[in-house]
Each structure stands twice: as C-alpha cells, then as structure tokens.
Amino acid sequence: MRTILFREALREAMSEEMRKDEKVFLMGEEVAEYNGAYKVSQGMLAEFGPKRVIDTPIAELGFTAIAVGAAQNGLRPIVEYMTWNFAVLALDQILNTASKMLAMSGGQVGCPIVFRGANGSAGQLGAQHSTAFESLYANIPGLKVISVSNPYDAKGLLKSAIIDNDPVVFMESEVMYGEKGEVPEETYYIPIGKADIKRPGKDVTIVSFNKMMKVALGAAEELAKEGIEAEVIDLRTIRPLDWYTILESVKKTNRLVIVEEQWPFASVSSEITYRIQKEGFDYLDAPIRRITSADAPMHYAPNLVAAYLPDVPRTVKLVKEVMYLKK
C-alpha cells in the first residue's frame, strides 16, 4: 500500500468530498494563498478557487459565526483553526449556536459543519498554545468529537465528518502532520463512534487517542519485552464514546489503564472510568488507573514539558501497578 503524510491524508479527505459536493467549502486563517499554516490545504486554492477555499481575517468568533450561519442555510462548511487554542474565541458559536440549533428550533435547523485543527501541545509552546480540548468539547450534547492518531484514520474519519449532518469537532496535532502512514488509493470511510484495537493483547488494556497513542504503543512495546501483552485501543471518536470495545477488552484483560493529554478533572478518562466500573465491575481485578497531563498550565522549560505530559516509563510503571507486579 502507498504511504502518504498525515497532512496529505487530511487534504485528500477534504478534496474528495469537495469534488463530490459543491456545498462543501473550506474557510480559515491562511488556508488559501498561504496554502495552510501547516500545509494541510496546499494546492486546494488552485483546484477549487477562492469561492471554496477562503482566507479569513484573524477573527475566530466572526468567521466561525459566518460558517455556522452558512451551515444553517444549506451549505457544509469545513472551518480550519490554526490551533484549537484559538478556537476558544469561537466557543460561543460552537457551544451556544452550532450544538444547540437543532434542539432549539425543534428539529427545523441543523448545522452540518466540521471544525478542525491542531490540538494539544507541540513542544515548548508555552501555556497558551498547549491545551488539549477533547474532554471540553465532548461535554457538549449536539456535537460529535473525533481525535485521530494516524493518516489512515484521519482520512476515513474526516470524510465521514464532512458528510455527517451534525456539527463535528475534529482534532489533529501539529507534531503529526509530517508523519507518514499507509493510506489506500481507493476511497473509504471510517464510521464515527468506533474505537480501533491497534495492538491486540491479553494481560492489560491501555486506552488512548491522538498523539498519546504513541505513548500507549511505546509502553506496550516495552512491556512486551518483559512478556506482558497489552491490548492498545485507539478511541478515534471521543463523543459518542465506544465503551463497548473497551468493555470487551477489559472482560479479557481485567485491567485498564488510560493515557490522555487532557487535564485530569472531568477528563475523557473520568468518563471511561465511570462507564467501565458500572458496566464491568465484576471483570476488574484492579482499580482503573490513568495518566493525564499535569493539573496545571503547561510551562515552557523542557524538563517541565516532560514532567507535564504522559510518557512511556510512567505508563509502563502504572501497568505494572495494576498487574500487581513488583518492579
């Protein structure tokens, strides 16, 4: 199978859907003439023209509002944020208008729209460019939330998001845009709301998503050297949460560790933990454990960045704890 870059997979998803449906367009800062701040939309202006690939001023609230209004009036916008940290300025439109429109209007006005961009930390970017927002958006009824870890999932899920009739929050990562992965030539869609077992195992279940999948898979690799077979599940969709796949895995392994970049309070791991203790209490042989980001803004210094984020050694240590293994 051919391999392409993460950013190319995203671009293929958007371009294929735009070729199919005139109502789909892309809007955001630097998406057109600059070819994308992270080159995701490179070449799209040339193919689709300025009517459908639209540079905006730096006005997240305003251009999000215009896209949301356009979605209410028959179009299918894709809104790119340079990072989800900037999209906080547009939260009013995402939370108060896009997510609630169908309910408030008694089913008359929907909002088929994709909000996408880079999420979470990306090196020493300091406190204001480093927040992971999955749990915040997943708290909001009316939205679907996707967070991807590789080019194949990115393409298949972005295509599903674009044709979905509900507002979808789609989270990527600056540090993954340049990574390569296998993506078939032929067209495909990945259904929203389905987790994926990225590595099968029988001793412990590790759940993660987005770039923390690297930590989860890295830990599984280390554990394998010691004869421990971890099953690694990539959530891919955060809302709706595919807890059935986690539960089925826990029925086999009896142990669950969650690795995520969220802050700990009311995080994705909090929700998973509630669900699995309720649905799978009798299958658990140890308390469910997690590693999140530290309960603080991310600082600049490299050692503090390392201390802030989940990593492989701490994940390995935690897995051994839930397996009651010494050292």
Residues labelled as active-site residues: 60, 129
Number of Cβ atoms within 10 Å of the Cβ of 313: 11
Tokens 């679907």 -> residue: 144
How far apart CA 315 and CA 327 sit, in angstroms, is 13
Distances (CA, A) of 117 to 214, 283, 296: 19, 38, 23
Q: What is the DSSP letter of 302?
A: H
Q: What is the DSSP letter of 139?
A: T
Beta partners for 77? 25
Decide whether 66 or 294 has the Cβ nearer to another protein.
66
Decide whether 70 or 154 has the Cβ nearer to another protein.
70
Number of Cβ atoms within 10 Å of the Cβ of 274: 12
DSSP string, 245-265: HHHHHHHHH--EEEE-SS-ST
Report the nearest approach of another protein to the CB of residue 68 (Å).
6
Task: Convert 157-190 to b/e letters by CB count within 10 Å (16 or more is b).
Answer: bbbbbbebebbbbbbbbbebbebebebeeeeeeb
Dihedral angle sign, alpha carbons of residues 171, 239, 136, 298: negative
Decide whether 69 or 218 has the Cβ nearer to another protein.
69
Report the nearest approach of another protein to the CB of residue 243 (Å).
9
Start-to-end Cα distance in the chain: 41
Residues in contact with another protein by the rule CB under 8 A: 25, 51, 56-57, 59, 61-75, 92-93, 96-97, 102-110, 112, 141-142, 144, 164-166, 193, 240-241, 278
* Bond before 240 cis per omega within 30 degrees: yes
Decide whether 52 or 155 has the Cβ nearer to another protein.
52
Decide whether 38 or 243 has the Cβ nearer to another protein.
243
Report the nearest approach of another protein to the CB of residue 104 (Å).
4
Distances (CA, A) of 14 to 7, 27, 65, 147: 11, 12, 21, 16
Report the nearest approach of another protein to the CB of residue 242 (Å).
9
Report the nearest approach of another protein to the CB of residue 136 (Å).
16
Decide whether 193 or 264 has the Cβ nearer to another protein.
193
Q: What is the DSSP letter of 318?
A: H
Report the nearest approach of another protein to the CB of residue 278 (Å).
7
Report the nearest approach of another protein to the CB of residue 90 (Å).
9
Beta strands 237-239 and 144-147: pairing type?
A: antiparallel
Number of Cβ atoms within 10 Å of the Cβ of 66: 17
Decide whether 92 or 226 has the Cβ nearer to another protein.
92
